[in-house]
Amino acid sequence: MWQHGATLIQMMLALALVAVLAQLATPSYTALSQDLQRAAAAQQLLQAFRSARSQALLQQQAVRVEPLEAGWGVGWRVVDADSGLLLAEQRLPQRVRTVGNLADGVRFSAQGVPLRGSGGFHGGSLQICPHAEGGQPRQIVLAPSGRVRLRTDMAVEPLCAGP
């Protein structure tokens, strides 16, 4: 009498095949997960800059966006530039590598214009670097007018190529 089902050898081969495929998929999933995390961080930081500028315009008082103690890669806070009152804070679940000329933060005047400490207009950029080759860099660009945008259509910044 014939029995329907799989033999032990067939089951072991199927299990081995699943294990090999899982090993191949893990690095791809990790890279995708890291890229999605950097994309989310870039969107959140972009929104923080836009929100701070809007708040400065609406409240008619200066608002500052500054990195947390360890830098933009761990998070940022939005504070009232005059009173120091904390308006918002965002900590990232995992550190991301950033480079750019906004290391000290950005102060938006009551007119929504980004200013330097000396009072001059302040434009700049902050790039969120990919973790590995093939990752997509994201750059937050702050125009001297106060407009903030996100760029993804560029080559990797040479500063990102370092360690």
CB neighbours of residue 85 within 10 Å: 10
Identity of the residue numbered 96: V
- Distance (Å, whole) CA 54 – CA 13: 61
**Any idea which residue has 């040479």 for tokens?**
158
Name all domains of the chain by residue range, CATH numbers in brackets. Answer: 8-161 (3.55.40.10)
Model confidence pLDDT, tens digit, residues 74-85: 999 999 988 999
pTM of the model: 0.79
Percent of the chain residues topping a pLDDT of 90: 42
CA distance 94 to 66: 18
- Please report which confidence band the pLDDT of residue 36 belongs to, taking 50, 70 and 90 as the band edges: confident
Q: What is the pLDDT of residues 110-163, one digit of tens each?
A: 999 998 766 677 788 888 888 766 677 889 999 988 899 999 887 656 667 765
Q: Which pLDDT score, from 0 to 100, does residue 147 have?
A: 92
